[in-house]
């Protein structure tokens, strides 16, 4: 949808990266790796975005670093749009892919930070058999990418079923709260 609105997949990816990390600056090759696009496309889009004042640049140690221009009149509006889209699509897919590397995940949902619900005690809820040694670096990496420490809860499938049967308060609140479902092999989404 945003590609059609903005006319370029690369522009959307670059904007999403810069707007969702407004205090961080990136050099061109770093942006290219993060958005997984060709360097010439990234350079062209950065030049276009800089020309309209959405991006600013500065030279440091022989490299040019780019950052979202938070003093632009459009910045707060675009940030709001891209935050919503990023949380609902990019993070959903990325987190689902990363979680599949830590064990057998039957259900995963994004809460709190990802749905802009400050009252939620968790940002990520997982049901599955997880290798904790693999989980820690994945959570650390995701926290770094989103710029927010991700609070998460993992339940083994048996514990999840037991707690559902007794209408456990925590579980009931998690399942009824605002969320984005990233993985659902349990059919929980269909029951809501």
> For every one of its 192 residues, what pLDDT tens digit does the chain have, with 9 covering 90 and above?
455 557 788 888 898 889 888 889 999 999 998 888 899 999 999 999 999 999 999 999 899 999 999 999 999 888 888 776 655 566 677 888 889 899 999 999 999 988 888 889 999 999 999 999 999 999 988 887 777 889 999 999 999 999 999 999 999 999 999 898 889 999 887 665
Q: What is the pLDDT of residue 171?
A: 95
- Intervals of CATH 3.30.460 along the chain: 86-191
Q: What is the pLDDT of residue 97?
A: 87
Q: What is the pLDDT of residue 56?
A: 96
Show the beta-strand stretches assigned E in the chain: 26-27, 55-60, 63-68, 103-110, 124-130, 152-155, 180-184
The CATH classification number of 86-191 equals 3.30.460
**CA diameter of the chain:** 62
Which residue, chain included where needed, has tokens 């349990």? Answer: 186
Cα–Cα separations (whole angstroms), residue 19 to 23, 68, 159: 9, 6, 39
Identify the CA nearest to 1 among candidates 85, 97, 121.
85
The CATH classification number of 2-72 equals 1.10.10.10
- Intervals of CATH 1.10.10.10 along the chain: 2-72
* Cβ atoms of 78 and 19 closer than 8 Å: yes
Q: Which residues contact 26 (CB under 8 A, 6 or more apart)?
A: 17, 18, 34, 65, 66, 67
* Cβ atoms of 152 and 108 closer than 8 Å: no
Q: What is the pLDDT of residue 125?
A: 97
d(CA 123, CA 121): 7
């Amino acid at each position: 949808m945003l590609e059609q609105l903005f006319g370029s997949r690369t522009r959307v990816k670059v904007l999403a990266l810069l707007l969702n990390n407004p205090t961080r600056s990136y050099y061109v090759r770093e942006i290219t790796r993060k958005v997984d696009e060709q360097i010439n496309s990234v350079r062209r889009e950065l030049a276009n975005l800089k020309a309209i004042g959405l991006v600013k640049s500065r030279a440091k140690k022989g490299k040019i670093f780019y950052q979202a221009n938070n003093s632009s009149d459009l910045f707060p509006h675009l940030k709001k749009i891209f935050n919503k889209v990023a949380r609902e699509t990019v993070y959903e897919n990325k987190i689902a892919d990363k979680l599949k590397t830590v064990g057998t995940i039957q259900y995963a949902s994004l809460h709190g930070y990802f749905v802009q619900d400050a009252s939620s005690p968790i940002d990520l809820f997982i049901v599955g058999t997880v290798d904790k040694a693999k989980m820690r670096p994945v959570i650390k990496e995701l926290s770094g990418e989103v710029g927010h420490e991700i609070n998460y809860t993992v339940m083994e499938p048996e514990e999840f079923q037991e707690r559902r049967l007794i209408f456990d308060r925590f579980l009931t609140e998690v399942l009824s709260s605002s969320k984005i479902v990233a993985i659902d092999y349990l059919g929980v989404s269909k029951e809501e």
